[in-house]
Amino acid sequence: MSKVVVVGSYVVDLMSRTPHLPKPGETVLGGPFQMGPGGKGGNQATAAARSGSEVTFVTKLGDDVFGREALKHFTKEDVNIEYIKVTPDQSTGAALIEVDEEGENSIVVALGACGTISEAEVEEAEEKIKEADIVLLQLETSIEAVVTTVKLARIHGVPVILNPAPYQEFPKEILKNVAYITPNETEAFELTGIEVTDEGTALTAAQMIHDLGVDSVIITLGGKGAFLYTGGDKGELIPSFTVEAVDTTGAGDAFNGGFAHAISNGYSLKDAMKFANAVAALSVTKIGTAPAMPYKNEVEALLAKTLK
C-alpha cells in the first residue's frame, strides 16, 4: 500500500443549493442546506484514502465542534490523524458554498486554524514525510507550511505534488523541488499571465511553468480532462469521463487525491491521470466534497467500463 502525506487545509463545508448564484446585493431562497468535512487538504486526503492509499494528514483545527467532527471523519476514513493539531486560539476553518441547478459553485473560504500551520508543526511530521511515497500540497494554508514541506521532502528525496489552489503568491524557487504541479485554468493564468482556453494556450502556459523547474505540468480543464506537459514542443490532453454532474465542488481535489494515489503506486503518468480523471468524474455525481469522493472499486468499475 502506497504512503501519501497530505499537508494542507481543513475547513467545514457549509453548502446550500440555489436556483442560481446570487448577483451582488441579491438574496436567493435556496436549500437544502448541508454541512460536511471539506477543505482542499481534507478532500484530497479523503480521496487518496478511499482510492486505497495509506494517508497521513497534517493540518490544524480549532478546539470547537467543527474540529471534533473533522477528527471523527478522518478516523472513520482510516486517515492517520497523529499530526492534526488542535488549537484553542483559532476556530476551525469554514467554506461558504453555493451550488446552482447546473452544478456550478461559488465559494468563500475562511481558513481559520489551518491558515496558521507553522514550520515547527510541519517538522513534527518529518518522519512520516521521510517514509512517504508522495507528498501532496495546496496553497489553502500558510505559505510557511508549504515551503517547509517542500524543503523536508527534498531532503528525504520524496516527490511533491503541488496543487497551487486557491492561488496566492508563493516563492517560485520551490518549484525546482516540485515533481508535479496541477493548476486549473485560473491558477495557470495566475502563474503565467496566459489565459488558458484550449490546448494551444494550455501548451504555452505549461511550457512557461515547466521553465520554472517543474518536471511534469498538469493543467486541469474541468469537463475536458487534463493537459499533460513534460517538455518539448507538444503536450497531450487526457480526456475526462462523461457523467451527469450534480455538484462540481471538490472535483479538482478529487483529481489530486486520485493522482497522488495512482502515481505513488507506480502508474505511468498517463494512467495516473486517467485514474485521477475517473475519481474526479465520479465525485461530481454526488453532493458535497469529501463525502462525495468515490471508493477504489467505483473508480476501477468506471475505468473497466470505458475499456469495453
Residue 6: partners with Cβ closer than 8 Å, 6 or more residues away? 41, 44, 45, 48, 55, 56, 57, 58, 135, 136, 137, 257, 260
CB 141 within 8 A of CB 110: no
Rounded CA separation 278/258 (Å): 8
Contact 41, 10 (CB under 8 A): yes
Whether 253 sits among the annotated catalytic residues: the reply is: yes
Distance separating alpha carbons of residues 284 and 172, to the nearest angstrom: 32
Q: At 176, is the secondary structure helix, strand, or coil?
A: helix
- Which position among 13, 133, 247, 253 bears the catalytic label? 253
Cell output for 201: 494556450
DSSP E strands, the chain:
3-7, 11-17, 33-38, 54-62, 84-87, 93-99, 105-110, 134-138, 160-163, 180-181, 216-220, 225-229, 236-239
User: Which residues are part of the catalytic machinery?
Assistant: 253
